[in-house]
Amino acid sequence: MHLRVGLAGLGTVAQGVLTLLSEQADVISARAGRRIEVVRVASRTRREEAVLGDAQFSHDLASLTDPSEVDVVVELIGGETSASELVQSALGAGQSVVTANKALIATQGQHLAELASNNGAALRFEAAVAGGIPVVGALRTGLAANRISRIAGIINGTSNYILSAMANDSADFASVLAEAQRLGYAEADPTFDVEGIDAAHKLAILSHLAFDIPTAFDAVYCEGISQITLDDIAYAAELGYVIKHLGIARQDDAGVEMRVHPTLLPKKALLAKVDGVMNAVMVDGHASGPTLYYGAGAGGAATASAVVADLIELARHSEPAPTVPTVAKSLRSIDDAVSACYLRVDCLDRPGVMAKLASVLSAADISIESIIQHEAEVRRRGEDSWVPVVITTSAVSEARMNAAIASLAQLPEVHGDVTRIRIEGLA
């Protein structure tokens, strides 16, 4: 008996799924062991450009949650309200669900996994992280024998595009964002992407799979890229680094740490070479060693590739694979994190200022690795002239660095906020 699919949504990804299932129908049937057929489609708008074949169309999402007609519901409407209702209703009826909805899985994943398990259904979400890159499958199966110590990834194409274009074209954040919006790489409201929320959703999902913890989006520390300046990019380059927006999760005996923030990476690091809208995820397993997954993190066809992979897996097995059992572990606060830092402190151009900065850091027991001040960078504001001083430090706890930054900001010679960007070697 073929696998009967009910498709929710007719947007970018849903149209990609319809195209891929139709273009690759014979290969997919052969690999899945049976035909995969979209029998029902439900969406707010009947988009004429979408070719539905023999599928019945309805505006009513509830038309999909009929287990006598539909085996698997594919949720591609996005958002958290209607999508959650649909997914819960399908799982409650014993239908398996495939979704690309990272916000839904990151915030409600635990509850939905239990619902699936209680009703003998499967919940699959390969497309929810890094679009076309099969990293969910790698964690679920390929690396399943490993104790994972770290995940580090560029998991938001929009912010990576913006940082890459700022570095390559010497254009500031606002103008690159406007260009990204014009090209369709950034939404009209870019907050989710540039403030790191989308990456935090994905990191919560990856951490769930890697560390066997319930999805815990609220425990992910999140900082965006909107404060990164061309000065920071140029100083980072001078120091041998590239600025990337990374999601980093680590597990050790003390627990699990999850954070998303701009990061200075050495130019020679593999992730430093990932440019434009591309995504990449590095996973360190104790047996596998470091592994790296690279590819398109978004786009109709790439994301459809992941959705259809989930459908093929479901078609291959008559029994759903068990959901990942989770264990509560200590989720560490950002205050516990330890990293080397880049500091940019805009200072009045007066003698003795560097010594004052150094003494504040020394009083906080923070070692300076390097310090840069270019006389050519002196800028004027009213009567004052000021100059950026850039300092890199050795590894220091967040709490200690926060206190030192607060002390630096109180110096009368310091102008405006102190910029801090964490440095990762990814060794």
Q: Which residues bind ligand NAP (CB under 6 A)?
A: 9-14, 43-45, 47, 61, 76-79, 82, 100-102, 127, 131, 298-299, 303
Residue 34 CB, nearest approach to ligand NAP (Å): 25
> Which CB atom, from 69 or from 187, has the smaller least distance to ligand NAP?
187
Cβ neighbours for 353, distance < 8 A, ≥ 6 positions apart: 347, 389, 413
> Which CB atom, from 61 or from 404, has the smaller least distance to ligand NAP?
61
Residue 273 CB, nearest approach to ligand NAP (Å): 23
- According to DSSP, residue 279 is labeled E
Distance CA 148, CA 210 (A): 6
- According to DSSP, residue 331 is labeled B
Query: Do 404 and 393 contact (CB within 8 A), yes or no?
Result: no
From the list 90, 84, 87, 86, the residue with the least C-alpha distance to 66 is 90
Query: Do 42 and 59 contact (CB within 8 A), yes or no?
Result: yes
Token output for 36? 């995969």
Give how far Cα 421 sits from Cα of 194, 296, 366, 392, Å. Answer: 16, 26, 15, 9
Q: Which residue has the tokens 């150094």?
A: 358
Strand partners, 283: 151, 291
Residue 9 CB, nearest approach to ligand NAP (Å): 3
Distance CA 73, CA 69 (A): 11
Distance CA 63, CA 2 (A): 19
Residue 84 CB, nearest approach to ligand NAP (Å): 11
> Which CB atom, from 79 or from 120, has the smaller least distance to ligand NAP?
79
> Which CB atom, from 70 or from 76, has the smaller least distance to ligand NAP?
76
Cβ neighbours for 370, distance < 8 A, ≥ 6 positions apart: 239, 391, 392
> Which CB atom, from 279 or from 339, has the smaller least distance to ligand NAP?
279
CA atoms within 13 A on the CB side of 109: 32
- H or E element that contains 148: strand 148-154
By CB atoms closer than 10 A (0-12, 13-18, 19+), residue 325 is: exposed
Query: Do 279 and 157 contact (CB within 8 A), yes or no?
Result: yes
> Which CB atom, from 61 or from 315, has the smaller least distance to ligand NAP?
61
Residue with nearest beta carbon to ligand NAP: 11
Residue 75 CB, nearest approach to ligand NAP (Å): 8
Residue 80 CB, nearest approach to ligand NAP (Å): 9
> Which CB atom, from 61 or from 364, has the smaller least distance to ligand NAP?
61
Cβ neighbours for 170, distance < 8 A, ≥ 6 positions apart: 230
> Which CB atom, from 164 or from 303, has the smaller least distance to ligand NAP?
303
From the list 210, 207, 178, 212, the residue with the least C-alpha distance to 325 is 212
Residue 130 CB, nearest approach to ligand NAP (Å): 8
* Dihedral sign from CA coordinates of 182, 186, 191, 196: negative
> Which CB atom, from 293 or from 386, has the smaller least distance to ligand NAP?
293
202 in catalytic set: yes
Query: Which listed residue (102, 202, 273, 329) is catalytic?
Result: 202
Distance CA 217, CA 221 (A): 9
By CB atoms closer than 10 A (0-12, 13-18, 19+), residue 23 is: exposed
Residue 225 CB, nearest approach to ligand NAP (Å): 19
Token output for 130? 């890094």
Residue 176 CB, nearest approach to ligand NAP (Å): 20
Residues annotated as catalytic (active site), given as ranges = 202
